[in-house]
Structures are given as C-alpha cells and as structure tokens.
Amino acid sequence: MSFYSPEFVTCNDEKFKVLITKEEIQKRIAELGEQINKDYKDKKPIFIGILNGAFIFLADLMRHVSIPCEVDFYKLSSYGDEKVSSGKVTERKDLDADISGRHVIIVEDIVDTGLSANYIKNIVDRKKPASVSFVTLLHKPESIKYHIDVDYVGFEILPQFVLGYGLDYAQEGRNLAQVYVLDED
C-alpha cells in the first residue's frame, strides 16, 4: 500500500518540507503501542481521540494495541484557520461513552500551548474515571503556557508550525502520511 508522502508540499500557497518521515512515525507508534500494552495489561482502557487532528494517529496507534480496549471521540477546535492558536477552545462534540470508573487514555495529535490538553483533562476528570493518561504524537515543550503532564510522547519538536499526519493548515494537509514543516529556504 502506498500513502501520500511527497518530499515537498504546497498548502495554502506556502511550501512545506518533511520533518518526520513516515518510517520514523510508524516505528515510534509501534513503540508507544508496546508500552501501552505493558502498562494497561488487564485494565481494558478506553482511548479518547481528540478530533479532528488525532484521527490518523489514533487509528495507527490502536493497531499496535493487543489488549482489550475501547474507543470514543471528543471534538474540540482551537486553531481556527490560522497558524497560531486562537487561544480559545470550542467544544464541538461530547463523549458518548460513560467513562466513570474506566482507565482513560486521551489521544492528541499535538500539545502546543497545552490549552486544549488542560481543557479536555478537566472535562475527563469531572466524569470520575479510575485513571487518566495522556498520549500525544507531537509535543512542543518550548510553547507550553498551560502545564500538562504528558505520559506518552511520540516526538518533541521545536515551536514551529507543522502539517500532515492528521494535522491541518486551514483544514488542508491532514491526508499527508508524514509530518511537514514550513520550508524557509
């Protein structure tokens, strides 16, 4: 099977180059899956994917999870169509599952300022789960404004705008199989 993974891509008239290859992404996700299998053995966790950005990461991650598990989705939006966070979180879809007493694994595409992560963590905590952990494919530690403990991180990156593998620029680029960054050259 071949996935959409050009060397360069133009999105909204701006040129992007590869930052993290599809091979690097898949290798790291397999490692995260293995870790989760060990940490959640006999716990039947429920994954909560944060839409839209986490849908591809969550799908690939779950295929490396070999213990019984469930999935549900929560939809937030904070970026609008810009390259910097709007600083406001809008809730667009609540959970369907009852997560009280459950072991919850929140799955994000990226932690940037930490605003969305804190918002969702508060909502999940109020629903009285047995435990909550947080997994993100990408983390920009230098951009953090709202502290959040992230239990599983795919890759730490610099505070730069990235695209692909679920992450969009004004809704485009989510279908790219690799993570791209602005090509300043």
In the complex, least distance from residue 118 CB atom to ligand IMP, rounded to whole angstroms = 8
For this structure, is 42 an active site residue?
A: no
Cβ proximity to ligand IMP: between 116 and 178 the closer is 116
Q: Among residues 60, 109, 112, 168, which one is catalytic? A: 112
Phi, psi angle pair for 12, to nearest 5°? 50, 45
Q: Long-range contacts for 32-35 (Cβ within 8 Å, ≥24 apart)?
A: 32/61, 32/64, 32/135, 32/152, 32/154, 33/61, 33/63, 33/64, 33/65, 33/66, 34/64, 35/152
CB closer to ligand IMP, 51 vs 69: 51
Q: How far is the CB of 35 from ligand IMP (least distance, A)?
A: 22
- C-beta of 43: minimal distance to ligand IMP in Å? 25
**Under the rule (CB under 6 A), what is the footprint of ligand IMP?**
53, 78-79, 85, 108-117, 161-163, 167
Closer to ligand IMP by CB, 67 or 144: give it.
144
Residues with catalytic annotation? 112
